[in-house]
């Protein structure tokens, strides 16, 4: 059933696309023009965008939002369009599964398929999250993406999982969706249609090692030799696998030489035949969610050239985009999801990327698509006093060391880690004369005591952050200190509130921990 842009309660068309298990939840309560509750002035959260360009240059951007400040049951997806190159935008459609109920819609994607129609895809989940079975991918087809008044079809269920990265068209003509089933076996799946989107089936999936599983957010590239390259998000950054049988079987997902935080990236084939990669920071350096940069590869991803800076600010993330027929590249991303609440896009050309600076005249950076405001206030997190800890013992200062690591004064504004751009937000009076060892946030650390005495490590408690190393520290004889939590960086985010653990070390003793802790020392 086609619809012009009118509000409706939609019906499910299982026969068109369903496979595997049917969805556990019914179609969304609302799919149509935004309702008053979806007003841009009632958004405490805005983020995770995707962009597509119609043949006539009309732009389409989707993201998800909510009136509460987080990724929660109040999320709904938004579809906006611009017919003037992004100067002005109009929000045409929202999908909201049940208003204030327990379901959320999230992680949307837009894609111009080979048939010329726009696919708007998102996931539906019942909260609290109970595993793969509660994630359902849905799709709306818009007939004429060149027109703001295009007819559109009712939502259709596709499969279980989440799909938040661009589909590709294989040289065989098959359409391939990068569907992930988080924290499960063979989670970086390829879901294929051999009949131009009428039906879909799982062809195969790459398996993420259990210890590195998180939100796959994988992308596919068909290489010139016919193999398919899969790049997948992992806890450690990016892992990669290859299929030589059209996606049926995959090599193990191994660590990629492309250094990256655990966050979404974007890769696509350009009109020139080269590859475009948009990621955080230089190819060989792992940063945080900052320094969004574009690179080009002329040899199918073996080497990367150029490096055009799109946005260096902390809090930029989740790039997605498309190259238009005239060669202009459009990239969308989000910034400061519960603060500024910006959805943005940038434009440039391949020659700008290779030059590492604007040379084409097509570069436009930090262009606003949407700026959310209002909504519910975020509760202010309370700092734990750690009253059950031992007294701070600053006397008899010891020292931990490792090769090629800097010992730095613990001062506000200093960079904390070698593989992140996070800076120290606050310094309690009790630690104002301390120094710290600038280690990497990721990966295992082994430090040797080069001077006997008291040493300390700052790390979040497990209830604050699953990456806490407090258990490893306690097993090595550290004690929790009776000192209020330190808001180490991003002071509004309680995941970064750190507790101090201390230990008296003997010279030559080693201390080991993983992600993430910050070694701290008193005195000179």
Instruction: Give the HSE-up count for residue 443: Cα atoms under 13 Å, Cβ half-sphere.
Output: 15
Helix, strand or coil, per DSSP, at residue 187: coil
Summarize pLDDT for 235-288 with one digit per residue, the tens.
999 999 999 999 999 999 999 999 999 999 999 999 999 999 999 999 999 988
CA distance 205 to 194: 17
The neighbouring-strand residues paired with 457 are 501, 519
pLDDT of residue 502: 95
The residues of the chain scoring below 50 in pLDDT are 4-19
pLDDT of residue 5: 44
Percent of the chain with pLDDT over 70: 95
Summarize pLDDT for 127-149 with one digit per residue, the tens.
988 778 789 999 999 999 999 99
Alpha helix stretches (DSSP H) within 245-362 = 350-355
Comparing CA positions, the residue from 452, 454, 424 lying closest to residue 438 is 424
- Strands 103-112, 510-513: pairing kind: unpaired
Cis peptide before 516 (omega within 30 of 0): yes
The neighbouring-strand residues paired with 367 are 345
Phi, psi dihedral angles at 28 (to 5 degrees) = -60, 150
The count of other CB atoms within 10 Å of the CB of residue 181 is: 21
Cβ contact 187:213 at 8 Å: yes
H/E run at residue 474: helix 470-475
Cβ contact 133:104 at 8 Å: no
- 515 CB-near residues (< 8 Å, 6+ apart): 441, 442, 443, 467, 469
Cβ contact 110:50 at 8 Å: yes
Q: How many residues does the chain have?
A: 524
pLDDT of residue 134: 83
pLDDT of residue 394: 67
Residue with token string 């710290």:
436
Helix, strand or coil, per DSSP, at residue 350: helix
The separation between the first and the last C-alpha atoms of the chain, rounded to the nearest angstrom, is: 74
pLDDT of residue 399: 87
CA distance 105 to 85: 28
pLDDT of residue 481: 96
Residue with token string 């299982």:
14
The pair of three-digit structure tokens given for residue 276, joined into one six-digit string: 């475009």
């Amino acid at each position: 059933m086609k619809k012009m842009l009118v509000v409706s309660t939609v019906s499910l068309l299982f026969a068109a696309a369903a496979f595997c298990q049917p969805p556990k939840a019914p179609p969304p309560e609302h799919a149509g023009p935004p309702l008053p509750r979806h007003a841009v002035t009632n958004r405490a959260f805005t983020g995770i965008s995707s962009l597509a360009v119609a043949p006539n240059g009309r732009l389409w951007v989707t993201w998800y939002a909510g009136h509460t400040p987080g990724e929660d049951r109040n999320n709904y997806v938004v579809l906006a369009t611009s017919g003037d190159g992004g100067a002005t935008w109009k929000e045409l459609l929202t999908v909201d599964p049940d208003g204030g109920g327990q379901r959320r819609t999230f992680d949307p994607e837009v894609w111009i398929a080979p048939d010329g129609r726009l696919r708007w895809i998102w996931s539906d989940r019942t909260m609290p999250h109970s595993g793969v079975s509660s994630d359902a991918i849905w799709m709306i087809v818009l007939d004429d993406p060149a027109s703001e008044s295009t007819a559109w079809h009712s939502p259709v269920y596709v499969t279980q999982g989440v799909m938040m990265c661009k589909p590709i068209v294989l040289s065989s003509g098959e359409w391939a969706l990068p569907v992930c089933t988080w924290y499960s076996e063979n989670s970086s799946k390829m879901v294929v249609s051999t009949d131009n989107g009428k039906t879909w089936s799982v062809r195969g999936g790459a398996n993420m090692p259990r210890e590195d599983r998180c939100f796959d957010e994988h992308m596919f590239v068909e290489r010139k030799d016919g193999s398919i390259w899969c790049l997948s998000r992992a806890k450690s950054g990016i892992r990669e696998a290859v299929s030589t049988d059209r996606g049926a079987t995959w090599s193990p997902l191994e660590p990629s030489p492309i250094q990256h935080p655990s966050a979404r990236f974007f890769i696509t084939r350009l009109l020139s035949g080269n590859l475009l990669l948009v990621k955080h920071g230089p190819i060989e350096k792992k940063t945080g969610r900052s320094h969004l940069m574009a690179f080009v590869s002329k040899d199918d991803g073996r080497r990367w050239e150029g490096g055009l800076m799109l946005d260096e600010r902390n809090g930029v993330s989740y790039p997605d985009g498309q190259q238009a027929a005239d060669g202009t590249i459009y990239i969308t991303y989000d910034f400061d999801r519960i603060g500024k609440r910006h959805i943005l896009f940038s434009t440039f050309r391949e020659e700008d990327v290779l030059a590492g600076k604007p040379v084409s005249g097509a570069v436009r950076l930090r262009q606003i698509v949407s700026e959310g405001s209002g909504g519910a206030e975020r509760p202010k997190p309370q700092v734990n006093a750690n009253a059950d800890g031992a007294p701070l013992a600053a006397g008899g200062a010891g020292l931990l060391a490792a090769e090629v690591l800097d010992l730095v004064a613990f001062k506000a504004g200093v960079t904390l880690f070698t593989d992140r751009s996070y800076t120290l937000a606050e310094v309690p009076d009790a630690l104002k004369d301390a120094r710290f060892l600038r280690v990497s946030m990721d990966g295992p650390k082994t430090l040797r005591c080069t001077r006997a005495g008291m040493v300390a490590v700052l790390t979040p408690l497990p209830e604050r952050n699953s990456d806490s190393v407090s258990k490893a520290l306690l097993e090595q004889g550290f004690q929790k200190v009776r000192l209020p939590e330190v808001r180490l960086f991003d002071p509004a985010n309680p995941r970064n509130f750190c507790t101090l653990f201390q230990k008296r070390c003997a010279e030559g003793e080693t201390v080991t921990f993983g992600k993430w802790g910050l070694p701290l020392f008193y005195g000179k």
